[in-house]
Structure 1
Amino acid sequence: MTAPFDPRPPTEHQFLLDGRPVPFTEGQTILQAARAAGLYIPSLCWDPRFVPHGSCKLCVVKAAGRHVSACATQAREGWEVESSTPEINDMRRGLLQMLFVSGEHFCPGCEKSGHCKLQALGYEFEMLGPRFPHFHPQRPVDASHPELMLDLTRCVLCELCVRASREVDHTDVFGVEGRGIHKRLVVNAPSGQLADTPIAATDLAARICPVGAILPKGRGFAVPIGERPYDRATIRAPIPGEEDTP
């Protein structure tokens, strides 16, 4: 039995984000409410089309006296949420430094430069050095597909391509196996090659990668470096056509 239709708009509540009031409706997360109010909380693995799972931890905030993932924590009336503090931003900078050394992220030689969220977040949080030793992981580069290239040395395990292929494209091309330091992205084909899957360059899974792990072929440097979205503006500014909307 369904509930009767209620024509009234949902009741709006409010919390404070770094001292600024943020309205929200029941069920909204801290990140959703902040973005809707035009306030920026960083994220790398969040997309409004999918259930959040808080894997990157860059959206960490302090709410009700404890650190939580803003993408996966529902807002509460009267909460005082801290996001842009020296302590939290230093924590985010450390997380970014770990992501950079865990793979091969050499921005000057990457086609994604200027359109890469990891790079843009590094600039946003003034990441000047790696702080940790580089892993230099030995991971394959798959160029078997006629339209796409997969470079696993750049994968940050955000799992956006996994969820896009499963929930939107309905192809189940990507998966994740292993745990901890052995966790890795895999291609769901007996050969492990993209060429043996139904993925196409127009699929969401092929376009959603926030770094340079999945790239289209035949379009290298079509937009010169210096004229790309994050060359012209910070990651706080939405890219036309790529706003976080379902």
Structure 2
Amino acid sequence: MSAIQNTIRIDNQEIPFTPGQTIMDAALAAKVYIPHLCHYPGLPPSGNCRLCVVEIGNRSVAACTTPAAADQAICSNTPELNQARKALTQMLFVEGDHICPSCEKTGNCKLQAMAYYLGMLDDHFPQFYQRREIDASHPDILLDRKRCILCDLCVRASREVDGKNVFAIAGRGTQAHLIVNSPSGKLADSPLAKTDLATTICPVGAILIKQRGYQVPIGKRIYDQHTIRETTMQEHIPSCDKLKHKGHQDTER
């Protein structure tokens, strides 16, 4: 007799899970897309972006941090949740300097791709991003804090995979910002390398490898050819060993 399989239901679709998986983990493994920007398979979740909020009964929870439990009935792809996700995406745009036509990351930017996916046609909110420092001190890597969405993917990648703890987020609320853990606070005095996962994992144009911009023509970039949903299903990577390997591959493209 086979063992009874644990399952949850997402938008009336039954999917299996194993104990210890979050709702997001189970969804990705089953090729069920829940919008997100700060989650990456193999890294500890943080729940920062809140795009992955789903409903269980009358509760709203982050799919990336909430454990899957037997017989959960979860709503994700609803007009109300997608409208809230679009509003959050609009706020991320106006909180940073996201001028897509002039950005090196355009066509490869997950924030831009998410806006397309959610049908975002305008910023809706007035711009209110604060002036943030650009760090061009590193010979190979540029840090443009004006584009940072505080997803802390670089923080977790540097700590958990690269083993260097280069980045951290300091301050709270509108004063929150990305900092570099080095004696001077500059990238040049950190051990960050262009082969590190922390360098390539940024979903926007906040961390860029120098002299690499605009190498791929418009129309042939990642999200010119595939939606963020399609690429997310292809990127599901379960282990940090594979994450490290992917970081090296990305820098070689």
Q: Residue 224 in 1 paired to residue 230 in 2? A: no
Instruction: Report the equivalent of 2:123.
Output: 130
Task: Please report the RMSD computed on the Cα atoms of aligned residues, expressed in angstroms.
Answer: 1.8
Deviation at 1:11, TM superposition (A): 5.3
Deviation at 1:243, TM superposition (A): 3.7
Partner amino acid, structure 2, of 1:171: K
Gap change, CA 1:49 and 1:9, over 3 Å in 2: farther
Deviation at 1:136, TM superposition (A): 3.6
| Local SS of the residue matching 2:114 | helix
Q: Residue 34 in 1 paired to residue 34 in 2? A: no
Q: Residue 195 in 1 paired to residue 188 in 2? A: yes
Q: Residue 58 in 1 paired to residue 51 in 2? A: yes
Partner amino acid, structure 2, of 1:178: G
Gap change, CA 1:87 and 1:148, over 3 Å in 2: same
Instruction: Report the equivalent of 1:3.
Output: none
Instruction: Report the equivalent of 2:65.
Output: 72
TM-score computed with the length of structure 1 as normaliser: 0.92
Partner amino acid, structure 2, of 1:21: E
Partner amino acid, structure 2, of 1:143: A
1:209 to 202, 210, 214: 202
> Could you tell me whether the CA contact under 8 Å between 2:28 and 2:233 is conserved in 1?
no
Instruction: Report the equivalent of 1:169.
Output: 162
Q: Which whole-Å deviations, capped at 9, do the CAs of 1:196-229 have from their partners, x for residues lacking one?
A: 1111000111111011000011112111121011
Q: Residue 182 in 1 paired to residue 175 in 2? A: yes
| Local SS of the residue matching 1:237 | helix
Structure ranking higher in helix proportion: 2
Gap change, CA 1:217 and 1:9, over 3 Å in 2: farther
- CA–CA distance in 2 between the matches of 1:214 and 1:66? 36
Aligned structure 1 segments of 4 or more residues deviating by more than 3 angstroms: 8-11, 239-245
> Could you tell me whether the CA contact under 8 Å between 1:12 and 1:26 is conserved in 2?
no
- CA–CA distance in 2 between the matches of 1:84 and 1:240? 16
Aligned residues: 239
- CA–CA distance in 2 between the matches of 1:241 and 1:17? 20
2:139 to 142, 146, 150: 146
Point out where structure 1 has 5 or more consecutive residues left out of the alignment: 1-7
Instruction: Report the equivalent of 1:115.
Output: 108
> Could you tell me whether the CA contact under 8 Å between 2:135 and 2:143 is conserved in 1?
yes
- CA–CA distance in 2 between the matches of 1:147 and 1:106? 23
Partner amino acid, structure 1, of 2:103: C
| Local SS of the residue matching 1:238 | helix
Gap change, CA 1:215 and 1:10, over 3 Å in 2: farther
- CA–CA distance in 2 between the matches of 1:214 and 1:230? 18
